Amino acid sequence: MQKRLPIHCAMYTASVFHHSLIFIFIMHFTDLIKQPWPWYVAGPLIGLTVPLLLILGNKTFGISSSLRHICAACFPAGISFFQYNWKKEVWNLFFAAGIAAGGYIAARFLNNHQPVAINTHLVSILQHYGVHNYSGLVPTELFNWQSLLTVRGFILMIAGGFLVGFGTRYAGGCTSGHAIMGLSNLQWPSLVATCCFMAGGFIMANLILPFIMRL
């Protein structure tokens, strides 16, 4: 018995050690996923959405179409562009609803409540426009109900949203449909569209937005 004791002891220690390792691993893992995910983790996982939707049911990845299906379902108004059987594309609305649910889950359960760590140069520029709060992904000082009807809030939220809806449909897709799905399928019109998205963004962010921010 006395001879076996050290072995028991060792086994017990090993088992405790083993359990605490798992515990440490789980703690570390939950800590890790609550932090912002680096691009080399999130990017490839976003890319995998393309084969996921194709294999789940032959669906081409894209979200802006959901806005059109909402129009076709709610206010087609006799416009030929909205005269189609939107129920055949209802998967896209389920997908969009899922994105909102995913946003809730991530913000509620996978949040470390740290401010977005952005380039310090941008922080000093935004400071001049009265942006100091980096706690949310959406800057609450710019996007809120009170400023909705100020000139700046109207341009950022309402005019901006209008351009997103109008532009994506005119271009035939958005960042997911053209930049990710279209380029994955090596479609050169999607490359043209993606370059134009970026060009539009560069013009707005660097040349026009500074004036809007001063309003």
Partner 1 sequence: MSTTEITEKEHRQFLQEDTDFEVRSLDTACINESELSHPWWYNIKYCIAGGWFGILLVKSEVISWFRIQEMFRLQSFHMYGVIGSAIVVGIISVWIIKKFKLKTIHGEPIVLLSKQFNKGQVYGGLLFGFGWALTGACPGPLFAQIGTGASVIIITLLSAVLGTWVYGYLRDKLPH
Give residues with Cβ within 8 angstroms of 5, minimum separation 6: none
Find the shortest distance in angstroms from Cβ 21 to partner 1: 26
Q: What angle do CA 98, 99, 100 make, to 5 degrees?
A: 90
Residue closer to partner 1 (CB basis): 10 or 164: 164
What separation in angstroms does the CA of 93 have from each of 26, 53, 62, 89? 35, 14, 11, 8
Main-chain dihedrals φ then ψ at residue 3, nearest 5 degrees: -70, -35
What separation in angstroms does the CA of 130 have from each of 8, 141, 211? 65, 8, 14
What separation in angstroms does the CA of 72 have from each of 76, 79, 97, 175, 215? 5, 9, 17, 22, 36
Nearest to 177, CA basis, from 58, 44, 169, 203? 169
Residue closer to partner 1 (CB basis): 19 or 189: 189
Residue closer to partner 1 (CB basis): 14 or 205: 205
Residue closer to partner 1 (CB basis): 12 or 162: 162
Residue closer to partner 1 (CB basis): 27 or 110: 110
Rounded-to-integer distance, Cα 69 and Cα 172, Å: 14
Residue 183 near residue 192, CB atoms below 8 Å: no
Residue closer to partner 1 (CB basis): 16 or 97: 97
